[in-house]
Amino acid sequence: MITYEDHCLRALAADGRWPELLAAYRRHRAAAVERSGEESAAAVTAPLGHLIAYAAPPELAVRLFDRDGGPGTVAGVADHDAGPLWEVLATRHSWLRLAPLLVPAAVRRLVAQTRVLIGEDLSYGAEPDPEGVPLVLEPWETAGWEEGTRVREYLPHGGARTALLTLPAGREGLGEVELPDPGMGLRGQRATRALGALAPWAEVACVRGPAPQAAAQLARGTRVAGGFTRVTGGYVPFALVYPALVQAAAVDRAHGSAHGRLALWRALAAMAGAGGPDRAEVNALVARMRCFTWLEPAAGLRHLHVALEDPACGLAWAVRGSEEL
């Protein structure tokens, strides 16, 4: 329901009275923090924050994240409505406009990574990422996306359009496959933990063996003679796997696609045995990686079923999960 106050705020926005809207945001947020804490305050003020981040001039919109308003007034990286406020801001202005204005390091980094996902090359126009994640998309990062689906498309007064990325998306290119014996799973792998951090609803398993053997650790299919599992599955290029892995980490509205890209680069670096997101090591891993995906009969609207094999080290990781939206 649209309240009288909502009408007043939208009227102020229509008149371009952004300083008054920012003052209202800060006043309401500080009062809500004092009354019921940060989490509640972020939820109460998120719709107004969204309006400011979306439509205000960048010089004012960035002040959502400045501490000059006093205790309780500043939006944090987790403040969100349809998505995080910093991602809303990042979709509206180029890095050239935002770079001189943004101060908080965490927000600045996430905005930069969002601009990279949108398609900007910041490798020569921004400070290096603290973990070494490239500030330009690799060719395999761009190949599997449909136009305009890397980041949520935000709407002026709240809400967003989001691509429903699933893996696999359908039966095309897949066939009946009898998975091998799952063998013994390996525990304690740094890459297993990193892949598990992508999505809280996903299971991850690691084996010494090929991708279908890792899939057999987690897959739900038809049991056949000998205790093996039959699924509809097949191999796909990593370029088609990448978007679903990035978006898996951005399902939570407090997280944006930048979280997904950063988390996936950490996971790929761990799979490659690198100490951090080394560009050459990750590119070499992606070039040799074999990816196996499979369908499951009870998968939710958002689902992820993939096994990632590194032939160089003989290990494979399976990631499986589904979530109703």
Beta bridge partners of 303: 322
Phi-psi region at 296: left, alpha or beta (left = phi > 0; alpha = psi -120 to 50): beta
What pLDDT shows up at residue 325? Answer: 42
Is residue 156 included in any domain, yes or no? yes
Report the run of H or E that residue 305 belongs to, with start and end.
strand 302-310
Verify that 205 and 317 share a domain, yes or no.
Answer: yes
Is residue 202 included in any domain, yes or no? yes
Chain-wide mean pLDDT for the chain? 90
Beta bridge partners of 89: none
Verify that 209 and 289 share a domain, yes or no.
Answer: yes
Answer with the one of 139, 161, 183 that is the final residue of a domain. Answer: 161
For residues 41-63, average pLDDT: 95
pLDDT at 1 over 50: no
Is residue 39 included in any domain, yes or no? yes
Is residue 203 included in any domain, yes or no? yes
Is residue 82 included in any domain, yes or no? yes
45 with 32: CB under 8 angstroms?
yes
pLDDT tens-digit readout, 125-168: 789 999 999 999 999 999 988 878 899 999 998 899 887 778 88
Tell me, what DSSP letter sits at residue 167? B
Is residue 167 included in any domain, yes or no? no
What pLDDT shows up at residue 147? Answer: 75
Give strand ranges (E) for 64-201: 153-154, 160-161, 175-178
**Would you say how long the chain is, in residues?**
325
Q: Which residues contact 43 (CB under 8 A, 6 or more apart)?
A: none
Is residue 169 included in any domain, yes or no? no
Give strand ranges (E) for 49-114: none
What pLDDT shows up at residue 4? Answer: 45
pLDDT tens-digit readout, 179-228: 998 878 899 899 999 999 988 888 999 999 999 999 999 988 666 655 67
pTM for the structure as a whole: 0.93
Is residue 170 included in any domain, yes or no? no
What pLDDT shows up at residue 164? Answer: 72
- What total number of domains does the chain contain? 2
pLDDT at 303 over 80: yes
CA distance linking residue 42 with residue 71, whole number of Å: 13
CA separation, residue 39 to residues 75, 79, 178, 277 (Å): 11, 8, 48, 32
pLDDT tens-digit readout, 4-26: 466 677 788 888 899 999 999 99
SS3 269: helix
